Amino acid sequence: MSTGFIETKDKTKIFYKDWGPKDAQPILFHHGWPLSADAWDNQMLFFGLKGYRVIAHDRRGHGRSDQPWEGNTMDQYADDVAELIEKLDLKNLVMIGHSTGGGEVAHYIGRHSDSRVAKAVLVGAVPPIMMKTDANPEGLPMEVFDGIRKGTMENRSQFFKDLTTPFYGFNRDGVKDNQGFRDSFWLMGMQGGIKGLYDCVKEFSEVDYTDDLKKIGCPTLIIHGDDDQIVPIHASAEKAAKIVKNATLKVYAGGSHGLAQIEADKFNNDVLDFIKS
**Phi/psi of residue 64, each to 5°?**
-95, 0
Of the residues 65, 99, 184, 256, only one is catalytic, namely 99
Of the residues 79, 80, 199, 228, only one is catalytic, namely 228
Residues 70 and 198: beta-carbon distance below 8 Å: no
Active site residue 31: no
The rounded distance, in Å, linking the Cα atoms of 207 and 205 is: 6
The rounded distance, in Å, linking the Cα atoms of 248 and 216 is: 13
Pairing of strands 26-30, 247-252: unpaired
Active site residue 57: no
CA 250 to chain centre: 17
Residues 204 and 126: beta-carbon distance below 8 Å: yes
Contacts of 144 (CB under 8 A, 6+ apart): 205
Q: Which residues, listed in sequence order, are joined to residue 5 by a DSSP beta bridge?
A: 15
Active site residue 157: no
Residues 85 and 62: beta-carbon distance below 8 Å: no
Q: Catalytic residue positions? A: 99, 228, 257
